[in-house]
Amino acid sequence: MNCSLFFRLLQLPFLLFLHIATIAQSADIILANGKIFTSDTNQLYVEALAIKGNKILAVGSNAAINKLATPKTNRIDLQGKTVVPGFNDAHDHLGWLSPIGIRFTYSEFNPSGLSKAAVLDSIARLVSIAKPNQWISGSIGTTILHDTSMRAALDRIAPNNPVVLQAWWGHGQVVNKKALVTSGLSDSDKDPVGGWYIRSDIGKINSIMENAQVPVWTTYFGSDYDGQIKGLQSYAQAQLRGGLTTVQQMSSNYKLEQSNRFFTDAKLPQRIRIIAWPRSTSSGRKLKDWDVKTNRLTTFVSISGIKYMIDGTPIEQNSMNKQSYKPGGTWYGRLNYPVDTITQILKEALTSNRQLMMHITGDSTMAIVLSLMKQLANGAVWQTKRVRIEHNSTPYITTAEVTAVKELGLLMMHTPKYCQTSPIRSLMEKGITVGISPDGTTNPFWDIMVITSQQTNPNENITREQAVIAYTKTNAYAEFKEKEKGTLAKGMLADLAVLSQDIFTIPTKQLPATQSVLTMVDGKIVYQNPQNMNTKK
Ligand SMILES: [Zn+2]
């Protein structure tokens, strides 16, 4: 063997190593010349970003990132556009808007809703065109929900079709006999734990409240496979146009098996987190219904966490408050679950790895839950559980209670459309984690407008940067995924949105008109508006 060949052979492994290193450092996609907001407080803005496979390879200056390009790299010239991490819709009820059966709609909105005459007239018209057993539905307000003459009227005009009239805010419904029977319920049923029935004067179930609605929901939403799939897919497309790349699904309307079927078949382009929502009977919660064997359903769909509605809302006056609803009155609202069941729910949160989420809208409910939590474990233990309070709708929370929220590591999951009176900036400044639970949205920019400009106390408006961080990084933390997504940083999943306008500088009123012009999930472009975005190899 001559010497030079020997030395060349010696170099081979080194050259091979160099080659592998170059491949590892080569980008599949580069986004450059942009205003990229990372949600990563170490480096909030960068010019460029490189993606390899489904993850972010690097972020930095145009010059640094361009070094990672190869002839095969797909280069996207952002032309100054703003990029954000994909928004995380931390609280939604997917499928809720799916076209199931036939329904009446109306455009003029007021909380009390349509009159009895208008509702019955609409139902009669729908009955005349309905197929046998087809579900008939519509949205109602407070007037019909509390009208106990509805059951008899509905049974009379719709004897052969299940009818469900859903309160527009979700916490109650009016049904006919056919809907009850189809859902496996009967007039002789006792009130289930977590909800109750409002009966007609002859003892028939007229209205179904709170968690007692779940059997009707799962039957109604499970009745139309095609309608569900279509509804899920079209909502997903609308969410991609809003730059939403993750949805945390509160499973009020699907049982576990239904979730498995619909989310496997719908093949939605986003990451979906399915959150358990057990129904109950008079003898207790049906936890077996949500006996989750595997946490990962598909690449994009996982199951974790559990949600309970601990009280109602101020709309039907069931959220439980320290002050009576009418000055000098005796009605303060109520808890949906007895205190011993709430205690049991909290104990389960401590002994399992299932993250607990509680809908709480009353300040008295909040005080009770805080005191139970403190009795059961200390702050250090609770902090690891990241218990979530959905809606952050308790503006009259005391200073001592705010301290308890901090000590227990509770996540205040603020819903912009419900509670502009909440002191969100003060909570954040005290070190409390404030995330965003939109409760149904395709437009995160509207939420951002509200929390940055429309808080009742203007001092409580947060900055747009804080709002985006809450909607991305904090919401990922709220599902124990902050090490995988929510920031645009090296090693994180490549979920992002390129925006039609610079949401950090445009006038406030223009925020809701923002759209994503390119949405990416898992390193793949899943939505692109060709008018606004040109990508070229
Ligand atoms: Zn909700």
Residue 159 CA to ligand 1 center (angstroms) comes to 32
- Give the start-end residues of each E strand in 213-300: 244-250, 271-276, 280-281, 284-285
For residue 319, how far is its CA from the centre of ligand 1 (angstroms)? 14
Distance, in Å, from the CA atom of 280 to the CA atom of 193, rounded to the nearest integer, reads: 6
Backbone angles phi, psi at 331, to 5 degrees: -100, 120
152 CA distance to ligand 1 middle (Å): 30
The secondary structure of residue 512, as a DSSP letter, is G
State the pLDDT at residue 22. Answer: 52
| Ligand 1 ion: Cβ-proximal residues, 5 Å cutoff | 439
At 222 the three-state DSSP class reads helix
Q: How far is the CA of 426 from the centre of ligand 1 (A)?
A: 24
How many residues comprise the chain? Answer: 537
Query: How many Å lie between the centroid of ligand 1 and the Cα of residue 356?
Result: 14
Ligand 1: centre distance to CA 43 (Å): 34
CB 495 within 8 A of CB 522: yes
DSSP H or E run through 305 = strand 301-309
User: For residue 493, how far is its CA from the centre of ligand 1 (angstroms)?
Assistant: 27
Q: What is the pLDDT of residues 151-165, one digit of tens each?
A: 999 999 999 999 999
Separation CA 277–CA 263 (nearest Å):
16
Averaged pLDDT in 10-residue chunks for the chain of 537 residues = 50 51 78 98 97 98 97 96 98 92 86 92 97 95 94 97 95 97 97 97 96 96 94 97 98 94 96 96 95 91 97 91 92 95 98 96 95 98 98 90 97 95 95 97 98 95 98 98 98 98 98 98 94 57
CA of 438 to the centre of ligand 1 (A): 8
Closest CA to 36 of 21, 20, 51, 14: 51
Helix (H) or strand (E) holding 361: none
Whole-number Å distance, alpha carbon 391 to ligand 1 midpoint, is 8
Task: Show the tokens assigned to 380.
Answer: 């250090």
- For residues 165 and 101, the answer to whether their CB atoms sit within 8 Å is no
Q: Are 246 and 88 in contact (CB under 8 A)?
A: yes
Whole-number Å distance, alpha carbon 52 to ligand 1 midpoint, is 36
pLDDT for res 293: 87
Q: How far is the CA of 90 from the centre of ligand 1 (A)?
A: 10
C-beta pairs of 285-289 under 8 Å, 24+ apart in sequence: 285/193, 285/194, 285/341, 289/255, 289/256
Tell me the residue type at 360: I
DSSP summary character for residue 525: E
C-alpha to C-alpha distance for 1 and 339, rounded to whole angstroms: 86
Q: H helices of 292-393, where?
A: 339-351, 363-376, 379-383
CA of residue 39 to ligand 1 center, whole Å: 26
| 73-107 tens-digit pLDDT | 999 999 999 999 999 999 999 999 888 999 998 87
Going from the Cα of 93 to the center of ligand 1, the distance in angstroms, rounded, reads 6
Centroid of ligand 1 to alpha carbon of 346 (angstroms): 20
Q: Please tell me the distance between residue 395's alpha carbon and the centre of ligand 1 in angstroms.
A: 19
Q: What CA dihedral angle connects 268, 388, 289 and 191, to 10 degrees?
A: -120
